[in-house]
């Protein structure tokens, strides 16, 4: 097991290295094709003094002649960048010269909050609906649950977001404020946009909306897993042993139903990352998704590279955790 983890971590390191190189190459291409981002430092539309421009280029590592040659992978700056990252220096932004590490410390917690709410929503809602549907297999409730979750899943997340922000949020907020007051939890929770004074409260609704991504998939996974285990021979054995229904459910059904659920969360994570970009954009949440999106627009090459590497890292870690959870849950799974 230990050797497996080490091998997986080395693989992860290699994956991250490849991601970094690809991002660097794309960034270099963008500089070579779109032009010098150092101009942005001076506001973009003014023509700066050549000496100052040269200084800024040196500061951001854009002075290498490879940036003049279209298609050059710019290996020397890539090595420089890696060395900086290893030292813990993530660089600064061109706009406003802000420290990237400091920006991450603001943006990452917001995205984590968003993910926490959406994972809770996804797991809680699909657990309840999936269990409910399994208990009433083939009956009205089962069909209703399937129909509703598929409908919720097939509406694009941005449509739900826009509907919420432009149609539902304002009257709901006004109604809640009239009753509970502006500063109360209820007065803030329905706001159509993020409020930095209430970093938890105003992320709940966007989190729930992101959580509907993959609801149908997850519900059906849970339904199938529970049905399989409820009808299984070992549940019959457990009944024959004279165990109470609650113990049968907790000890013999839930643990056996966890594997598909964990698989589901693992691969829905990637979908949720893309859902997060849209949600953070529409709801004005200063999170990683919005940061990367704006960085691309503003030609902040370094910021794009750091942001995407962080999300690649998260995906790699999540998939490793999922694989380790498999082995922890099912003794038949062994990694050698």
Integer angstrom CA distances of residue 136 from 140, 252, 264: 8, 20, 22
Query: What is the smallest separation between the CB atom of 331 and other proteins, expressed in angstroms?
Result: 4
Residue 241 near other proteins by CB under 8 A: yes
Residue 330 near other proteins by CB under 8 A: yes
Residue 7 near other proteins by CB under 8 A: no
Selected binder of other proteins within 14, 251, 317, 321 (CB under 8 A): 251
Give the residue with the Cβ less far from other proteins, 134 or 157.
134
Q: Which residues pair with 121 in a beta bridge?
A: none
Give the residue with the Cβ less far from other proteins, 102 or 330.
330
Query: What is the smallest separation between the CB atom of 130 and other proteins, expressed in angstroms?
Result: 19
Query: What is the smallest separation between the CB atom of 140 and other proteins, expressed in angstroms?
Result: 16
Give the residue with the Cβ less far from other proteins, 7 or 139.
139
Residue 86 near other proteins by CB under 8 A: no
Residue 172 near other proteins by CB under 8 A: no
Contact between 320 and 12 under an 8 Å Cβ cutoff? The reply is: yes
- Compute φ and ψ for 99, nearest 5 degrees: -70, 125
Other Cβ atoms within 10 Å of 82 Cβ, number: 14
d(CA 324, CA 321): 5
Q: What is the DSSP string of 118-139?
A: HHHHHHHHHHHHHHHHHHTTTS
* Stretch touching other proteins by CB under 8 A, among 42-50, 60-68, 161-169, 250-258: 250-258
Other Cβ atoms within 10 Å of 230 Cβ, number: 18
Task: List helix spans (H) across 50-192.
Answer: 50-59, 75-87, 100-135, 140-154, 157-163, 169-180, 185-189
Selected binder of other proteins within 83, 143, 247, 317 (CB under 8 A): 247
Query: What is the smallest separation between the CB atom of 138 and other proteins, expressed in angstroms?
Result: 11
Residues of this chain that interact with other proteins (CB under 8 A) are: 231-234, 236-244, 247, 251-252, 255-256, 329-332
């Amino acid at each position: 097991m230990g050797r497996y983890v080490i091998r997986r971590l080395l693989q992860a390191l290699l994956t991250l290295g490849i991601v970094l190189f690809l991002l660097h190459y794309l960034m270099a291409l963008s500089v070579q094709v779109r032009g010098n981002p150092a101009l942005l430092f001076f506001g973009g539309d003014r023509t700066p003094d050549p000496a100052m421009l040269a200084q800024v280029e040196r500061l951001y590592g854009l002075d290498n002649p490879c940036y003049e040659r279209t298609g050059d992978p710019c290996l020397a700056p890539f090595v420089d960048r890696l060395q900086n990252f290893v030292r813990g220096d993530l660089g600064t932004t061109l706009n406003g010269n802000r420290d990237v590490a400091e920006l991450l410390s603001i943006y990452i917690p917001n995205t984590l909050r968003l993910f926490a709410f959406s994972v809770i929503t996804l797991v809680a809602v699909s657990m309840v609906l999936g269990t409910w549907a399994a208990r009433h297999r083939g009956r009205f409730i089962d069909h209703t649950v399937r129909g509703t979750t598929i409908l919720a899943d097939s509406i694009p997340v941005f449509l739900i977001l826009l509907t919420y922000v432009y149609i539902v949020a304002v009257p709901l907020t006004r109604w809640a404020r009239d009753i509970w007051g502006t500063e109360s939890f209820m007065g803030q929770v329905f706001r159509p946009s993020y409020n930095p004074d209430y970093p938890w409260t105003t992320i709940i609704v966007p989190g729930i909306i992101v959580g509907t991504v993959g609801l149908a998939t997850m519900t059906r996974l849970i339904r199938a897993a529970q049905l399989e285990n409820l009808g299984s021979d070992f549940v019959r054995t457990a009944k024959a042993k004279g165990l109470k229904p609650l113990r049968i459910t907790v000890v013999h059904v839930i643990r056996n139903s966890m594997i598909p659920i964990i698989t589901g969360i693992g691969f829905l994570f990637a979908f949720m990352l893309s859902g997060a970009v849209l949600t953070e954009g529409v709801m004005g949440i200063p999170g990683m998704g919005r940061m990367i999106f704006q960085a691309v627009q503003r030609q902040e090459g370094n910021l794009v590279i750091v942001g995407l590497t962080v999300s690649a890292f998260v995906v790699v870690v999540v998939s490793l955790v999922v694989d380790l959870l498999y082995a922890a849950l099912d003794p038949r799974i062994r990694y050698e």
